[in-house]
C-alpha cells in the first residue's frame, strides 16, 4: 500500500506539468453530448413554460457550465490525499442523503431535494460519485487481505445504507444506480462469480416478493405508482394508467420519428406536449422523434464511445483503487444509459433514471460531469504512470 502511494506521488508531479494523457475521446464525447442535450432542451421545451421559452434551456445551460467547470477541477484532484478521508466522505454522503428525509422538499410524491434557496440540491445524485470513490477505496485496500465473502458483504453493507435511505424517499431508480456501481466495482475487483449469482438470486426473489407475493397478502412495500411504472412495460399497449400513457406516448414519439426524424419543429409529440416528461426522463424519445433512427442511433453510438473510454481508462488505471473508481463510474453510466433508453423504448421498467448529459436537472448533470472528470483524472494519472514505466 505504501509503495503504491509513493509511486503515484512522483507521477503526479509529471502529470501536473501538462495535460499529459488527457482522454480526448471521452472529453469530446461528453461535451458533444452535453451541447446536444442543451440544443434539444431548447427545442423541446419552448412552449412548456408560458411566456418563458428559455426557462429549461437557460437553466440546463447553467447547470452544464457549472458541471464542466467541476469536470476540469476534477482533473487536478489529488486522489491519494482524498482516499485518506474515505470514511469522512462516506459519512458526509450518508448524512446528506439522510438529511433529505428530515429537511427535504417534495415533488410529485417523492422527497429528494434540499432547498438551498437559489438551487435545489439532490444529494442522492451527488452521492453516486462519492459512493463509487468510497467503495473503490474500501475494496482496493482489503482486496487480498480480507476473505472474499466478507469483503463482498461489507461492500454491499456500505452501499445498502445510502441505498435504503434513497429508496425510502422514495427514489427506486437512484438506489438501483447505487447497486449497479457496487456490482461494477465488485466485478472488476474479481470477486468470485458465485457472489454475483447469489446476489442476482436475492434480487429476483426480492422483486417477486415486493411486486407480487407481498401485495397478495396485503403488504405493500412500494407505492402504487411505483408498481405501475415497474410493470407497465410488461403490458402491451396503454393500460389506462399514468405509466401506461407515458410509455405509449413515448413509443408513438419514437416510432413516428421514423428513419430520419421529424425535425425540431415537426416533433409534435414533444412540442405539443403529448409526451410527458419530455425534458427529463423521456428526453431520448424527443431525440428519436426529432432526429429519427439516424439521430437516436448516433446518440447511442456516442454513449458507447463514452463507456468504451471508461473501460479503457479502467485498464490504464495506475492503482487498484483508481481502477475500481473507474469501474464504478463505468457501471453507473452504462446502467443509466441502458435503463433510461430501455424505458423510453419500452423494454425496461419506468424507474425514474435520467439520461446522462441529456436529461434536465442540475444535480445529475453536475454529478455525471464530475464523474467524467474523475475518469479523465484517473486516465491521465494512468497514462503518466505508463509513460514513467516505459522510460
Residues that bind another protein (CB under 8 A): 47, 184, 187-188, 238, 240-242, 245, 249, 251-259, 268-269, 271-274, 288, 292-293, 296-297, 300, 303-304, 307-308, 311, 314-315, 327, 330-331, 334, 337-338, 341-342, 345-347
Q: Report the residue number, 93 or 378, with the smaller CB distance to another protein.
A: 378
Q: Report the residue number, 84 or 315, with the smaller CB distance to another protein.
A: 315
Q: Report the residue number, 155 or 340, with the smaller CB distance to another protein.
A: 340
277's CB contacts (< 8 A; 6+ apart) are 246
Taking the complex as a whole, how short is the minimal distance between the CB of residue 230 and another protein, in angstroms?
19
Taking the complex as a whole, how short is the minimal distance between the CB of residue 133 and another protein, in angstroms?
19
Taking the complex as a whole, how short is the minimal distance between the CB of residue 282 and another protein, in angstroms?
13
Q: Report the residue number, 97 or 188, with the smaller CB distance to another protein.
A: 188
Instruction: Write out the three cell numbers for 60.
Output: 440546463
Q: Report the residue number, 74 or 188, with the smaller CB distance to another protein.
A: 188
Taking the complex as a whole, how short is the minimal distance between the CB of residue 296 and another protein, in angstroms?
6
Taking the complex as a whole, how short is the minimal distance between the CB of residue 248 and another protein, in angstroms?
9
Q: Which residue has the cell 424517499?
A: 169
Return the H-helix or E-strand segment holding 132. Answer: helix 123-142
DSSP lists the bridge partners of residue 105 as: 113
The Cα-based distances of 1 to 6, 56, 144, 319, 321 in angstroms read: 9, 47, 11, 10, 11
173's CB contacts (< 8 A; 6+ apart) are 339, 351, 352, 353
DSSP-assigned letter for residue 122: -
Q: Sheet holding 110-115: strands in order across?
A: 105-107, 110-115, 120-121
Q: Report the residue number, 111 or 187, with the smaller CB distance to another protein.
A: 187
Q: Report the residue number, 61 or 187, with the smaller CB distance to another protein.
A: 187
CB 90 within 8 A of CB 158: yes
Strands 120-121 and 110-115: antiparallel
Look at residue 390 and give its three-state secondary structure.
helix
- Closest Cα partner for 322 from 79, 153, 46, 4? 79
Q: Report the residue number, 97 or 267, with the smaller CB distance to another protein.
A: 267
Q: Sign of torsion, CA 248 254 233 230?
A: negative
Q: Report the residue number, 155 or 344, with the smaller CB distance to another protein.
A: 344
- Rounded to 5 degrees, what are φ and ψ at 352? 70, 40
Taking the complex as a whole, how short is the minimal distance between the CB of residue 56 and another protein, in angstroms?
17
Q: Report the residue number, 6 or 108, with the smaller CB distance to another protein.
A: 108
Taking the complex as a whole, how short is the minimal distance between the CB of residue 170 and another protein, in angstroms?
21
Taking the complex as a whole, how short is the minimal distance between the CB of residue 164 and another protein, in angstroms?
26
Q: What is the number of other CB atoms lying within 10 angstroms of the CB of residue 198?
A: 13
Taking the complex as a whole, how short is the minimal distance between the CB of residue 267 and another protein, in angstroms?
9
**Distance of alpha carbon 150 from the chain centroid:** 27
Taking the complex as a whole, how short is the minimal distance between the CB of residue 369 and another protein, in angstroms?
20
Amino acid at each position: 500500500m505504501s509503495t503504491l502511494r509513493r509511486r503515484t506521488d512522483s507521477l503526479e508531479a509529471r502529470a501536473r506539468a501538462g495535460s499529459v494523457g488527457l482522454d480526448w475521446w471521452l472529453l469530446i464525447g461528453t461535451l458533444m453530448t452535453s451541447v446536444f442535450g442543451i440544443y434539444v432542451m431548447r427545442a423541446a421545451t419552448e412552449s412548456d413554460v408560458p411566456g418563458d421559452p428559455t426557462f429549461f434551456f437557460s437553466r440546463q445551460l447553467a447547470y452544464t457550465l457549472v458541471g464542466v467547470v467541476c469536470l476540469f477541477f476534477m482533473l487536478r484532484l489529488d486522489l491519494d490525499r482524498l482516499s485518506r478521508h474515505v470514511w469522512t466522505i462516506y459519512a458526509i454522503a450518508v448524512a446528506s442523503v439522510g438529511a433529505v428525509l428530515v429537511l427535504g422538499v417534495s415533488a410529485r410524491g417523492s422527497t429528494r431535494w434540499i432547498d438551498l434557496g437559489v438551487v435545489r440540491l439532490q444529494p442522492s445524485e451527488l452521492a453516486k460519485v462519492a459512493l463509487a470513490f468510497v467503495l473503490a477505496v474500501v475494496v482496493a485496500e482489503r482486496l487480498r487481505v480480507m476473505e472474499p465473502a466478507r469483503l463482498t458483504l461489507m461492500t454491499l453493507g456500505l452501499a445498502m445504507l445510502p441505498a435504503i435511505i434513497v429508496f425510502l424517499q422514495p427514489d427506486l431508480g437512484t438506489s438501483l444506480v447505487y447497486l449497479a456501481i457496487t456490482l461494477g466495482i465488485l466485478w472488476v475487483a474479481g470477486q468470485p462469480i458465485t457472489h454475483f449469482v447469489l446476489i442476482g438470486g436475492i434480487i429476483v426473489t426480492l422483486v417477486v416478493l415486493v411486486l407480487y407475493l407481498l401485495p397478495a397478502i396485503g403488504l405493500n412495500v412500494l407505492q402504487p405508482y411505483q408498481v405501475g411504472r415497474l410493470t407497465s412495460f410488461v403490458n402491451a399497449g396503454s393500460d389506462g394508467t399514468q405509466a401506461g400513457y407515458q410509455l405509449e406516448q413515448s413509443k408513438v414519439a419514437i416510432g413516428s420519428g421514423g428513419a430520419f426524424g421529424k425535425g425540431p419543429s415537426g416533433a409534435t409529440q414533444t412540442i405539443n406536449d403529448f409526451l410527458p416528461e419530455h425534458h427529463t426522463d423521456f428526453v431520448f424519445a424527443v431525440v428519436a422523434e426529432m432526429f429519427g433512427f439516424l439521430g437516436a442511433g448516433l446518440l447511442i453510438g456516442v454513449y458507447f464511445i463514452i463507456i468504451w473510454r471508461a473501460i479503457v481508462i479502467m485498464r490504464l488505471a495506475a492503482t487498484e483503487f483508481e481502477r475500481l473508481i473507474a469501474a464504478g463510474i463505468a457501471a453507473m453510466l452504462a446502467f443509466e444509459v441502458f435503463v433510461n433508453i430501455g424505458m423510453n423504448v419500452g423494454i425496461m421498467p419506468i424507474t425514474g433514471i435520467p439520461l446522462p448529459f441529456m436529461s434536465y436537472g442540475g444535480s445529475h448533470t453536475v454529478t455525471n460531469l464530475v464523474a467524467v472528470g474523475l475518469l479523465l483524472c484517473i486516465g491521465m494519472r494512468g497514462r503518466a504512470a505508463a509513460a514513467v514505466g516505459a522510460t
